[in-house]
């Protein structure tokens, strides 16, 4: 199989916060990999802009180190780092003042696609938008890219949207949720809407329940101060898990086109039922003999912030009425595993005498660590001895199916930045989607705050608090085990 890389149009990409953590870890190594794959035009410019006093060469050295540290070189097997670095420029800039804006303007060419990546604190979004406008740098065709956290509740998200829309139209705003850039997430849409096989079964007549798990082994150490003001609900559920839920549950859009897809996702969020307090479990990881507890990492011995959350919710529409959607996410869990599991119902009658093993078809869509899908099907156990049935997985691991091409699958940020240049908003969150997601999560968080809800402790590197297990046991179900 030969991968087809289609180069994007020529562009100038300005990275505000070009010396920050996200730029070093993700954006710049990602751009380098796109360069190596031949997708980035040889004249395109990447312009870093931040407070630090670098000149162009100083910034190039900084970026070289970032790429060497964060995997760009090895992964791409590419030796063109020097020529890539020649396409980089830098200007120190004052987001709240006048310094740097003239230089920035002079570095931009004006006749190519223009994108501005706001890789900075949301409190600076308004200043940047205003400066770009007042200095006549942005045009009606420019694109701006913003990161989560997009607000911390409905009110602040509305304010941010209003701030950005003062100077930019919604069609110019690209709100990143990097989960939407993951290969399997897009494959989920391909599988659902590109095959005749699944869609007829994709409803409450055939689906028993759906599980969405995003488990991480990392702690919040290092970013405890930020995380403690956020918690798993704001950090992961409001964005990544809800986006996965939307893609799994949405109606088929009439076309794979930005607004058609986003309209359908929005309908799912609006149809989500409020979560009953006893259908949600919060947790906080404990210390191990060698490692700190959540509260130590957060620097607050009395913190009530959750590092784990599990919940059951329903979607109130014809397709999904009565089908529970279970979601869970946590830090310091037993394994790093992100997956969506669609558990189909039992057969309504088994023709095989003595077979009461309760076989079920289960579709597993694995996002991490290995991207792929499996469908558990029931077959006859090979050999003599009558009709004994067993469940075996039909495996579609991308590594096997795609061979060496699997190594060329772009990481989420690479794909999303290229989509910005292409002007394709399908994999970006629209303002109304983000607001609707907050409208659903706000009452849950406010309920915890009002009750001063105390998260349940859980052992580090475990499956989370026992109550999370009980949430499904009560319904006669169980979570898919987190395999190590």
Site of interaction with ligand BG6 (CB under 6 A): 148, 178, 216, 235, 338, 368
CB of 309 vs ligand BG6, minimal distance in Å:
13
The helix/strand/coil state of 446 is helix
Nearest-CA neighbor of 439 among 182, 204, 161?
161
The residue whose Cβ lies closest to ligand BG6 is 235
Nearer to ligand BG6, 71 or 423 (CB): 71
CB 24 within 8 A of CB 66: yes
What burial letters (b/e) apply to 190-201, b meaning 16+ CB within 10 Å?
ebbeeeeeeeee
Hey, what's the torsion of the CAs at 212, 157, 443, 226, to 10 degrees? 70
CB of 368 vs ligand BG6, minimal distance in Å:
6
Nearer to ligand BG6, 100 or 231 (CB): 231
Tokens of 12: 């100038």
Q: Are strands 308-313 and 280-285 parallel, antiparallel or unpaired?
A: antiparallel
CB 319 within 8 A of CB 333: no
Nearer to ligand BG6, 413 or 440 (CB): 413
Strand partners, 416: none
Nearer to ligand BG6, 123 or 255 (CB): 123
Chain centroid to CA 408: how far? 20
Catalytic residue among 167, 209, 240, 359: 240
The helix/strand/coil state of 114 is strand
**CA–CA dist 179, 55 (Å, integer):** 34
Nearer to ligand BG6, 338 or 366 (CB): 338
**CA–CA dist 243, 223 (Å, integer):** 24
| Phi, then psi, of 380 in degrees rounded to 5 | -80, 135
Nearer to ligand BG6, 129 or 180 (CB): 180
Nearer to ligand BG6, 34 or 178 (CB): 178
CB of 235 vs ligand BG6, minimal distance in Å:
5
Active site residue 314: no
CB of 305 vs ligand BG6, minimal distance in Å:
12
Would you tell me how many other CB atoms lie within 10 Å of the CB of residue 20? 17
Chain centroid to CA 223: how far? 18
CB of 427 vs ligand BG6, minimal distance in Å:
14
- Helix, strand, coil percentages (3-state) for the chain, rounded to 5, are 40, 20, 40
Nearest-CA neighbor of 90 among 63, 128, 71?
63
CB of 300 vs ligand BG6, minimal distance in Å:
18
Nearer to ligand BG6, 184 or 313 (CB): 184
What interhelical angle do 242-249 and 183-194 show, nearest 10?
20
CB of 468 vs ligand BG6, minimal distance in Å:
19
Q: Which of the 8 DSSP states describes residue 333?
A: B
**CA–CA dist 462, 47 (Å, integer):** 44
Chain centroid to CA 30: how far? 16
CB of 228 vs ligand BG6, minimal distance in Å:
12
CB of 148 vs ligand BG6, minimal distance in Å:
6
Strand partners, 327: 212, 311
Nearer to ligand BG6, 12 or 235 (CB): 235
**CA–CA dist 434, 314 (Å, integer):** 19
Would you tell me how many other CB atoms lie within 10 Å of the CB of residue 277? 11
CB 327 within 8 A of CB 472: no
Q: Which residues are identified as catalytic?
A: 240
């Amino acid at each position: 199989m030969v991968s087809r890389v289609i180069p994007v149009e020529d562009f100038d990409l300005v990275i505000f916060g070009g010396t920050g953590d996200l730029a070093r870890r993700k954006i710049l190594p990602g751009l380098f990999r796109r360069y190596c794959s031949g997708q980035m035009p040889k004249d395109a410019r990447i312009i870093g802009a931040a407070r630090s006093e670098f000149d162009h060469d100083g910034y190039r050295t900084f970026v070289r180190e970032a790429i060497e540290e964060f995997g760009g070189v090895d992964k791409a097997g590419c030796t063109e780092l020097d020529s890539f670095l020649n396409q980089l420029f830098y200007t120190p800039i004052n987001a709240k003042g006048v310094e740097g804006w003239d230089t920035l303007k002079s570095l931009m060419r004006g006749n190519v696609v223009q994108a501005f990546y706001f890789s900075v604190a949301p409190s600076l979004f308004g200043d940047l938008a205003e400066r770009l406008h007042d200095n006549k740098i942005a045009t009606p065709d420019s694109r701006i890219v913003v990161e989560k956290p997009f607000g911390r509740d409905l009110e602040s998200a509305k304010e941010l949207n209003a701030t950005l829309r003062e100077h930019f139209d919604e069609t110019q705003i690209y709100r990143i949720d990097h989960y939407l850039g993951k290969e399997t997430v897009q494959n989920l849409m391909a599988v659902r809407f590109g095959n005749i096989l699944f869609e007829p079964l994709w409803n409450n007549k055939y689906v028993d329940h759906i599980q969405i798990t995003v488990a991480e082994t990392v702690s919040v150490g290092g970013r405890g101060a930020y995380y403690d003001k956020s918690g798993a609900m704001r950090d992961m559920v409001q964005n990544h898990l809800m986006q996965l839920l939307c893609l799994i549950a949405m109606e088929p859009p009439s076309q794979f086109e930005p607004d058609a897809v986003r309209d359908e996702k929005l309908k799912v969020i609006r149809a989500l039922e409020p979560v009953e307090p006893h259908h949600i479990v919060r947790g906080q990881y404990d210390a191990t003999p060698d490692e700190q507890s959540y509260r130590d990492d957060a620097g607050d011995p009395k913190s009530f912030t959750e590092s784990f959350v599990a919940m059951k919710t329903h979607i109130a529409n014809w397709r999904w009425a009565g089908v529970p959607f279970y979601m869970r996410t946590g830090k310091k869990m037993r394994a790093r595993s992100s997956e969506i599991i669609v558990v189909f119902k039992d057969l309504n009658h088994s023709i095989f005498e003595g077979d009461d093993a309760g076989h079920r078809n289960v579709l597993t869509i694995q996002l991490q660590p290995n991207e792929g899908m499996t469908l558990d099907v029931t077959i006859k156990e090979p050999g003599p001895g009558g009709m004994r049935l067993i469940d075996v997985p039909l495996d579609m691991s991308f590594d096997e199916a795609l061979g060496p091409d699997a190594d060329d699958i772009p990481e989420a940020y690479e794909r999303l930045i290229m989509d910005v240049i292409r002007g394709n908003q399908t994999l970006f969150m629209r303002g109304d989607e983000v607001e609707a997601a907050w409208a659903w999560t706000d009452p849950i968080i406010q309920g915890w705050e009002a009750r001063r809800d105390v998260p349940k402790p859980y052992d580090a590197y475990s499956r989370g608090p026992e109550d999370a297990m009980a949430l499904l046991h009560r319904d006669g179900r169980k979570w898919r085990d987190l395999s190590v």
